Structure 1
């Protein structure tokens, strides 16, 4: 199991004065170990936190401020995180009913196939569609695509879909802009308090963090 660099040495944390650490019952270092998971949350007496998670092929870290309200800890990233995105680089008209999507840097997906989030006219929820090796997107007869954006494997990031003109085809090229890729973007992220354990819901997993002795 890989351990993110953010998962700081405990010895370095122990330097905080004992009086400051006693400022809150929740102040301390919490660690999680489970199948494919290694993680830590450090809640500091000055109201700051540090966080790190290694989950399978995913590694992320974060920092910011934390508060306690009604038995729940809330994490908010600081400084503000700029999430990664796929920016449209080129949109060339193509024969009606066709859609081709490529990346300016195919290595941006780290070897994963190109999956697209596609919105279809008349459907309430988007579809996830794999592009062919040449970028062609398989469309059913009569299917009208109203927007599309590449999907980032493994990570959950916000998407800005590109709207399409429905009466023409499109040959699209997207550019991946990493920005603060790998940084957790918390906006009052709730963490439940259960005695000496913190519980975070992340990437479809319920992760218990247990308080560590200093």
Structure 2
């Protein structure tokens, strides 16, 4: 009878640290008792910190991140130095990021060849023909794979684009993780297993509450 009852119990989420670190990549998922989680990852110069909420259904937990801030900041202006019929795009990114930037002007994003860019004091810039579509799609493929859409105002010929706080932050929309005795497994990537390493420290429980700090 005891074995039967135990077998019917819903698997319990073990609050604590689940580590998926591997060569050159430090990665950890921290699960809290109050249905909150924190995900951190570090690879080279890239550091990721996101938090959110989790729910459980049978042997699976579902992670959903809190709202992530904008990936880019855009500033628009009318510059008399820009030739007629042209649009000047200025990317305020470091040189190591410039090769990974991609953009398009269309109703839907289009992956185009990387444009030639000139390094300037502000970052990098490129001069393009004034687009018919005022819809700008941006992607930074080193950190992100999805385009972000921005509407350009009329009568501007210069757009300054700076990295936002949300650049590189992954977004989990009800992402399923299978529970095990000592690990959780991302069902979208079975090769990524987060091994359980221990209980949550009292100092880290401050991260379990949603807030609007700069960490997000």
TM-score class, shorter = 0.5 to 0.7
Q: How big is the alpha-carbon RMSD for the aligned residues of Structure 1 and Structure 2?
A: 3.8
- Gapped runs of 5+ residues in structure 2? 1-10, 120-124, 200-216
Distance 1:25 1:36 in 2: 28
| Cα distance change, pair 91–69 in 1 and its aligned pair in 2 (3 A) | farther
Query: Residues 160, 198 of structure 1: CA spacing in aligned structure 2 closer, same or farther, 3 A cutoff?
Result: same
TM-score, normalised with respect to structure 2? 0.61
Cα distance, 1:190–1:67 mapped onto 2, change above 3 Å: same
Residue deviations 1:12-71 (CA, integer Å, cap 9, x gap): xxxxxxxxxxx9344332101223211111112222212211134321012222111253
Secondary structure, aligned partner of 1:151: strand
- The aligned runs of 1:45-64 (5 Å cut-off) are 45-64=33-52
> What secondary structure does 2:34 align onto?
coil
Which residue does the alignment assign to 1:116? Answer: 102
Counterpart of 2:126?
A: 136
Pick aligned residue for 1:211 from 196, 205, 208:
196
- Deviations along 1:133-169, one digit per CA (max 9) or x if unpaired, are 1633577xxx96634345335222651234598xx9x
**Distance (whole Å) between structure 1 residues aligned to residue 196 and residue 172 of structure 2:** 21
Count of aligned positions: 179
Cα distance, 1:201–1:159 mapped onto 2, change above 3 Å:
farther
Give the distance between the partners of 2:142 and 2:190, measured in 1 at CA. Answer: 13
Residue equivalent to 2:70: 83
The residue aligned with 1:7 is: none
Call closer, same or farther: CA 1:25–1:109 in 2, change over 3 Å. same
SS of the residue corresponding to residue 60 of structure 1 reads strand
1:121-143 CA-to-partner distances (Å, cap 9, x unmatched) read 8x87342533421633577xxx9
Q: Equivalent residues in 2 for 1:22-61 (5 A)?
A: 24-61=12-49
2:178 to 174, 189, 192: 192
Assess if the C-alpha contact under 8 Å between 2:37 and 2:53 holds in 1.
yes
* TM-score normalised over the length of structure 1: 0.62
Q: Does 1:125 align with 2:110?
A: yes
Unaligned runs of 5+ in 1: 1-22
Q: Which residue of 2 aligns with 1:173?
A: 159
